[in-house]
Structure 1
Amino acid sequence: MKTVLMNSIAFLALAGPAYAGPEVAVPNGGVAHADAGDPQAAPASKPNKAVFSTGVAKGRDLLDSAISTSAIGGERIEQIGARTLGEVLRTVPGIRVEDWGNGGYANYTIRGLPLAGTGSKWLQFQEDGLPVLEFGDLSHLNNDMLVRPDLNLARIESIRGGSASTFASNSPGGVLNFISKTGEEEGGSVELSTGLVDYDSQRGDFEYGGRLSSNLRFHLGGYYRAGAGARDPGASSFHGGQLKLNVTRDFTNGYVRVYAKLLDDRQAFYTAGPMGVTGSDADPTYTPIANFDPRTNNTISKNLPILLGVSIDPKILPNPLSQAWRVKSKALGLEAKFDIAAWTFVDRMRYSNNSSAVGGSQPIIVTSAGRLAAMFGGPGASFSYASGPNAGQAITNPATLNGNGLAAYTAFNTLGSPKADYFVNDFRASRVWKVAGGDLTLTSGVYKALQNFTTILSMDAGYQDFAGPNSALLDLRTAGGTKLTQGGVAAFSTFPFTVAGNRYGDVDHDITAPYGSLNFHKGRVSVGGSLRYDSGKVKGQRYGIELGGNRTRWRPFDINGDGVISQPEQVADGIQADMPAPVDYSYHYVSYSVGVNFRISQSFAAFARYSKGARALADSIYFTPIINSVTGKPAHRKDVYDPVRQAEAGVKYRTDTLTLNLTGFVANTAEQNFQVNAAANGVLTLVPFSRTYRAYGAEFEGSYQRGPFSLTAAATYTHAEIKSDSTNAALAGNTPRHQPTLIVQAMPVVDLGAVSLGSSLVYTGSSYAQDVNKLKMPAYSTVNAFIEYRPIDRITVSVTGSNLFNALGLVDVTQGSMPADGIVSVRTINGRTVAGSIRFNF
């Protein structure tokens, strides 16, 4: 292995045999840390006792920094027992996660900033100091689809608010930085894991790092896994893996590092499913229907065939519904840091070739099978099975279908981004002067990003039942026997039940952002400010019916090529390739942040900070009236970015055994976005809006360690309010949907040497299902637990349990109030799962 690695990176073997030990680097994109991958720089058990530097100009002691931060070590991440990245990040103070078990594709926000759309609009994900994507809420390629926690991961650092507004573009809420190991320690490990209870997963991980010479080190690792996951669709929905490599050449005054990542992974795509609800809007009781529990079932199954859809030109697209979503990424990066003549220079660069493909079924109308048949086929219409082992059989008693009697008019979606290439470079220079007995630190830099994003949406509509892992498509016939479907498909479009048609877009974002900061630290006082100027150019094309001009035509089209136009083929949604609409605009905005920190004593400090930032809008406005369909420009430049103003103040206390942090915050936000909810008739609809929000609250974070016992705990109180809504003035004064007042996390651990055990508990308070503030989603608590046993040196056997008490945790309810039939569409967290693993260290 060493021979191969040495040959592959021989160009780094330059002069300078001396080894430079770990020291605080100042990387790019708002993240600095000790050599970006030194796990010893931030011990997992006591992260707040090390220098922390994510989102600040220079790494420094936390008690001398006017920022709110957290860190989770790689070992602690494994102990959490999480099955998804979202479950890991739920334990970070201040962060709210809507995770329904997809493995990715979850929603994230922070400190009460709105979560009206999808992805992580206000919160940036980074790997080793550079953004994973420029925008965290791209419609079919979110940040967490490209990040996989594995044995390569040294720790996760986070910063909330504050300097994130100026030391990273498009991240006014905060930054999550996933930091890799870099071969500081010789050795590695191999881990094999498998699902034990309610969890079909087989996975293998490995990592190894060390020195190739006195000044050359490397780290290599990855994983591969397969299985059906936590919700068995009767087919393998999870398979794929990741491989990461970095090689570092150390010099007496710095280092150069190259790194690469290959990711090709497929994970389940869980959409909303039916659930019963009784009681009242203010005090509802949610109950799974017969033969379909959204904690363990999904709308996809082994009985769903490959469907055909219509795309641009028009072309035929296959949609393998049961194969979920797949993401690919090939990334190559370079990092260099040198101290020259009292200056520290750092440059980071990465190019990544990214793509995604998503297939799934999204129920539009869920009701009794008999009512649904009559709704679309007239009196006396009936269903028969169109797929699965019962294909062709008539359903003679729809009221007893699968024990629940339900069926759905469903959108079968082929989504994805065939190309989302991303280039990012960040150059920074900093210097410290001795001035008036203190340290004056100047930092300046230039950030450059090129984000291409292609998006495609092809939708069919048809019928399906709800039968756990055996769900099937349904054919519909009139009372006279006329077949209205083709293999369960009613139309190769979602017309007329949605105004949205099939879409295609190909747009480039070019972003340049010079920035700088000035910080002065003397004695107990630190004062600093930072400034950033973001300018962007956006150019491209988009195709779709929302743009007018008959750019999408509902027309007959022979989808299956059999020479016959069937009833469903009479309505095919084909995108006209010769009728594009342009995207052609530019924008610019200024962000700033100022803060002061006072170290009252050796163990106690207080700080305050005020910041203004913004988030440029990406594909969420491609198909809206914000961008003129003829000129490709907005009516006003301010329409293409959303500003955020934040203030925070807090205190920090730290001793050898106890750490306590308390922070109060307030944020004012303006947002243009869209969200999916149910219309008065129960049909899913897409709702655009323009709003302002205000949120205030407090965060608590603490840790305690004494002997073998340790405890980390956190709580976030948030009061959020819609201040105004230009599309629906009646929503002013309401609480944004899904926003709980209180979130609490705790993780007690006991380490007895040969045996370690602990638990991770997360409480999420109740919230409103929709912005109308009627139907409630109840509070819920999840309990994860782990036990590790080390029978001999270098071998660890462990068992982890997630959601051990099988809590019903609702993260999304489409309906705003209780429907007459008592059936709602919901997304939930995964149910109980238990896994076991064995690790060999060498």
Structure 2
Amino acid sequence: MSRSTGLARGGLASLLLAGSMPALAQAEANLESSAAAEEMAPNSDEEIIVTGRAGAGERTKLETSYAVTTLENETLRSRAASSVTETLKSVPGFWVEASGGEGSGNVRARGIPVDGFGSINLLEDGLPVQHDPSLGYLNADQAFRVDESIERIEVVRGGPASIFTSNAPGGVINFITKTPGDTLSGNARILYGPTADLFRFDGWVGVPIADGWGLGIGGFYRNEDGVRDPGYTGNKGGQIRADLTGRLDQGYVRLSYKRLDDRAIFYTGIPLTKDAQGDIVGIAGFDPQYDTTASRSTAFLNLRSAFGPLSFDNTDGSRIRLDQYSALVDYDLPGGWKLSNRSRYRESETVRNGVYPASISTAAAFVAGRQAALLAAFPGANRTILRYADTGEAFDIAGQNGNGLVFQNSARPVAVDEREFLNDFRVAWTFDLFGQRHDIAIGFYYAHIRETFRRYSATTLQDVSGDSRLLDLIAVNAAGQVVGSASENGVLRYGSEFANGAGNSDTYALYLSDEWQVTPQLRIDAGLRQEWIDTQGTQEGTATVNLGDRATLADDQVLTGSGIFTPFDRSFDKLGFTVGANWQFSRNAGLFARYTSAFRLPSVGSFITSATAQPVTQDIKMWEAGFKYSSRLLSLYATAFNTDFGSFSIGNFVFNPATGGYTQQTEYADTRTYGIELEGTLRPVKWLDLTVNGTLQNPEFRNLQFTELVNGAPVQRDYFGNQLLRVPKLALRVTPAVTLLDGRFRAQMDVEHYARRFSDAANTSALPAYTVINASARFDLTPQISLWAYGDNLTNSIGLTEGNPRAGELTSGQANDLLFIGRPILGRSFRLAVDFRF
């Protein structure tokens, strides 16, 4: 598709930087009159890029001086990704973990070793979905869903992303929504998944009103048990959004409202073992592809606490209720000037409930480890019995469920309420000076955040089965009468965790950029960002109490609030900058190079569970250089990069099976990752194309040295040169596709390969390499109706994305265990869809 087609097709992306409608019309006319336009590369290379820059002019993907990946609506449709993280698997330089379900994924950009969305930010039409995308237990992907309202996605890796967006040292993902055209148009999709009992409806309609104004309404609703079926509906809910857009003579204005009311199950680790060859396999009684530790028995728990009964509803999973209001304005002024302002206000209430496996052992070992303390606590007892909490049925220690194993898990309800207001104002000016073109911009960003955070955990005892049930360890006397119990209704310890805090922050940022066209072929781009943040709030301390009113040990060490609140009032600031050059030595090819000094400031989330914490400003240095080539035969983008990350903190959060509680340790290290990103598409004939996305990198610790207590004795550790946590050295995705019947039929296959990783800094707990194959096919029944079929993980691979974080991320406590906990990708599944267009 030519540039003119891309602009005419619409979407807010074109309006954001294209300026007035007359300018758009002129651009279309110029391109349509050019015979060379028909020889240019596919539309993803020629569409206007609006992410990662702030000037008044236009830039195509081929003209940018940084690495950018575009995902068109048709690309998204061809994979029907179930989550934000799933959509990013085809982005080179990103290591994506989507095994947790529709929310709470992990994305690591260019080896920056932080979980969640701590290295990148999600944008919606140029503004953050959530100012801090990596708040504790509140990742930005929990607050965002992909549906038919999305026109396309632009992903900027490194480069200038951190200059124009807070909390984005590794890049930004900009979800660009659809814009109504001059005629009534729309699309709808019905998706059915027999494997997961999935039913989903997506839709969007654009209605022209009058005088350049249009109304867009879209959203989705879905109901799904889940590929890993917990015995209840795992995913249920949806969202609706309405956008009123006015295309003015000199710009545009958009007013938007979005309501998200959704809940998604959070998949945690599962029990696994190794066969005689050392390959990872499932355990008898537990299917590694389709079972989960969440179950009907743990769906509803009545937990005790020092402040009264607490209801744990695991059917809520990660539940969010969000209202979002946005106002976006662009306006062109005479003399090459342009003003823009984007504002967003959001209110959200999030509950994140989950059952987190903490340790696994044989039932015999568990009973032996607890028996002496239990009998000592209840002198009248002479033996212990393990039985089911719901029926009283005895548990066969030797071989219940075909395995004789038990879990200790954490039933953890977390509640996070957030209010935030964001505003980004900028002025851009394009002018000539001494015969050279400058495209400068200056902007001011402000964000006010208010957050409350509450967390409580209880340690549960469960069997290892596909429908995991709660167990009690009881003490009986010679007559077989119950004298006491280590647990109560399957709970080994009430109050194994407690947190209560509230705070707010104000972020101010001033940024400046210049795109200096030195010659027709050479452009120098530079920018800087000065950012300040002020945080204030309080965090309640903890106390251990003995509820002591029942014959159980479960309520003897309950963590609760102490009633003493510690205030925090901290401020931070930092200056970041970037400078790059782009040499477009031919119409179809170019080179770029860039250096960026990026950062990530602490936020209110750094203190809300520890008011006395001493977080450091994350300091990231990035070097990158790339080659770009685009023709009808081949599109190729190759980028070499080096990322130095300073003062990376590893929070070693280790579960203690003996107490049912947690111990914490924090160490700091520097890291370095260098590598090559590659994305390219080969089109040898009209009906065949081959797309390759890959990252080859060396992610390593630079100076991780500390002292660790082992059996009470200090041991010196030095992990210099070890591979970073869970980041593979090779991630490769190859997609062959055929298009037949004059475009009516298209089929593609994604072959993904990920090299070996490690779940701990010591590199003792390996996550083996794995390959997964997905496929999809589309048939256009009519110009308005298309049929789709999808198959995911066709080989039913057990691909581990992470181990057990609660076993320790410095040195894993399960590294050499035959029984261990890990989180693999979902098992084989199939889906069918039908699309309607008008």
TM-score by length of 2: 0.88
Q: Give 2:189's match in structure 1, choosing from 188, 191, 194.
A: 191
The CA deviation at 1:241 is 0.4
C-alpha separation in 2, matches of 1:783 and 1:314: 50
C-alpha separation in 2, matches of 1:749 and 1:315: 59
The answer (yes or no) to whether the contact 2:501–2:609 under 8 Å persists in 1 is no
SS at match of 1:579: strand
Q: Give 1:808's match in structure 2, choosing from 795, 798, 805.
A: 798
State the match for 2:704 in structure 1. Answer: 725
SS at match of 2:591: strand
Q: Give 2:545's match in structure 1, choosing from 554, 565, 575.
A: 554
State the match for 1:329 in structure 2. Answer: 322
Summarize deviations over 1:101-151 as a string: whole Å, max 9, x none.
411111111111113xx3110111111111111222212110111121111
C-alpha separation in 2, matches of 1:618 and 1:292: 41
State the match for 1:693 in structure 2. Answer: 671
Q: Give 2:625's match in structure 1, choosing from 646, 649, 653.
A: 649
State the match for 1:493 in structure 2. Answer: 495
C-alpha separation in 2, matches of 1:819 and 1:750: 44
Q: How does 1:279-358 map to 2 (within 5 A)?
A: 284-309=278-303, 314-342=307-335, 343-358=337-352
C-alpha separation in 2, matches of 1:382 and 1:21: 65
State the match for 2:233 in structure 1. Answer: 236
SS at match of 1:399: coil
SS at match of 1:363: strand
The answer (yes or no) to whether the contact 1:22–1:34 under 8 Å persists in 2 is no
The reply to whether residue 524 of structure 1 matches residue 502 of structure 2 is no
State the match for 1:383 in structure 2. Answer: 386
For residue 461 of structure 1, what is the amino acid of its counterpart? T
The answer (yes or no) to whether the contact 1:382–1:478 under 8 Å persists in 2 is yes
Summarize deviations over 1:232-265 as a string: whole Å, max 9, x none.
1111111000101111112100111101110011
The CA deviation at 1:645 is 0.7
The CA deviation at 1:821 is 5.0
The reply to whether residue 535 of structure 1 matches residue 502 of structure 2 is no
Indicate the larger mover: 824-833 or 677-686. Answer: 677-686
The answer (yes or no) to whether the contact 1:190–1:840 under 8 Å persists in 2 is yes
The reply to whether residue 834 of structure 1 matches residue 830 of structure 2 is yes
Summarize deviations over 1:549-571 as a string: whole Å, max 9, x none.
xxx2323177xxxxx57542333
The CA deviation at 1:451 is 1.8
CA separation of 1:23 and 1:240: change in aligned 2, threshold 3 A:
closer
C-alpha separation in 2, matches of 1:679 and 1:250: 57
C-alpha separation in 1, matches of 2:103 and 2:580: 35
The CA deviation at 1:305 is 4.6
SS at match of 1:133: coil
C-alpha separation in 2, matches of 1:211 and 1:264: 28
CA separation of 1:322 and 1:464: change in aligned 2, threshold 3 A:
farther
Q: Give 1:617's match in structure 2, choosing from 579, 587, 602.
A: 602
For residue 385 of structure 1, what is the amino acid of its counterpart? Y
CA separation of 1:582 and 1:771: change in aligned 2, threshold 3 A:
same
The CA deviation at 1:709 is 2.5
Indicate the larger mover: 171-180 or 208-217. Answer: 208-217
Q: How does 1:563-712 map to 2 (within 5 A)?
A: 566-576=552-562, 578-618=563-603, 621-622=606-607, 628=612, 634=614, 639-675=615-651, 686-705=664-683, 706-712=685-691
Indicate the larger mover: 161-170 or 354-363. Answer: 354-363
The answer (yes or no) to whether the contact 1:48–1:70 under 8 Å persists in 2 is no
The CA deviation at 1:383 is 1.5
For residue 439 of structure 1, what is the amino acid of its counterpart? R
The CA deviation at 1:426 is 0.1
SS at match of 2:366: helix
The answer (yes or no) to whether the contact 2:535–2:604 under 8 Å persists in 1 is no
SS at match of 1:166: helix
C-alpha separation in 2, matches of 1:158 and 1:718: 19
The CA deviation at 1:350 is 0.4
CA separation of 1:607 and 1:400: change in aligned 2, threshold 3 A:
same
Summarize deviations over 1:512-556 as a string: whole Å, max 9, x none.
0011111211310000210110000000011233xxxxxx23231
The CA deviation at 1:27 is 11
State the match for 1:455 in structure 2. Answer: 453
C-alpha separation in 2, matches of 1:268 and 1:134: 24
C-alpha separation in 2, matches of 1:620 and 1:819: 31
The reply to whether residue 120 of structure 1 matches residue 111 of structure 2 is no
C-alpha separation in 1, matches of 2:706 and 2:698: 23
For residue 512 of structure 2, what is the amino acid of its counterpart? G
Q: Give 1:424's match in structure 2, choosing from 422, 427, 430.
A: 422
CA separation of 1:259 and 1:322: change in aligned 2, threshold 3 A:
closer
The RMSD of aligned alpha carbons is 2.8
For residue 547 of structure 2, what is the amino acid of its counterpart? P
For residue 755 of structure 1, what is the amino acid of its counterpart? F
State the match for 2:3 in structure 1. Answer: none
C-alpha separation in 1, matches of 2:792 and 2:42: 22
The reply to whether residue 218 of structure 1 matches residue 221 of structure 2 is no
The answer (yes or no) to whether the contact 2:503–2:608 under 8 Å persists in 1 is no
Summarize deviations over 1:318-362 as a string: whole Å, max 9, x none.
111344221121100000100012310000000011121122222
The CA deviation at 1:75 is 1.6
For residue 750 of structure 1, what is the amino acid of its counterpart? V
CA separation of 1:460 and 1:68: change in aligned 2, threshold 3 A:
same
The CA deviation at 1:769 is 2.4
CA separation of 1:278 and 1:603: change in aligned 2, threshold 3 A:
same
C-alpha separation in 2, matches of 1:454 and 1:817: 33
The CA deviation at 1:746 is 2.2
The CA deviation at 1:160 is 0.6
C-alpha separation in 2, matches of 1:810 and 1:301: 22
The answer (yes or no) to whether the contact 2:387–2:393 under 8 Å persists in 1 is yes
CA separation of 1:722 and 1:820: change in aligned 2, threshold 3 A:
closer
Summarize deviations over 1:448-496 as a string: whole Å, max 9, x none.
011222221101112111211x1111111025332332211122122xx
State the identity %. 27
State the match for 1:435 in structure 2. Answer: 433
The CA deviation at 1:609 is 0.4
State the match for 2:508 in structure 1. Answer: 512
C-alpha separation in 1, matches of 2:653 and 2:287: 21
- Gap runs ≥5 in structure 1: 1-18, 495-500, 546-551, 559-563
Q: How many residues align?
A: 776
State the match for 1:10 in structure 2. Answer: none
The CA deviation at 1:317 is 2.7
TM-score by length of 1: 0.88
SS at match of 1:375: helix
C-alpha separation in 2, matches of 1:675 and 1:201: 37
C-alpha separation in 1, matches of 2:83 and 2:515: 39
State the match for 1:365 in structure 2. Answer: 359
SS at match of 1:398: coil
SS at match of 2:696: strand
CA separation of 1:21 and 1:162: change in aligned 2, threshold 3 A:
closer
CA separation of 1:427 and 1:250: change in aligned 2, threshold 3 A:
same
For residue 291 of structure 2, what is the amino acid of its counterpart? N
Summarize deviations over 1:676-703 as a string: whole Å, max 9, x none.
5667989975442211111111111112
C-alpha separation in 2, matches of 1:256 and 1:208: 19
State the match for 2:713 in structure 1. Answer: none
The CA deviation at 1:775 is 2.8
C-alpha separation in 2, matches of 1:361 and 1:502: 16
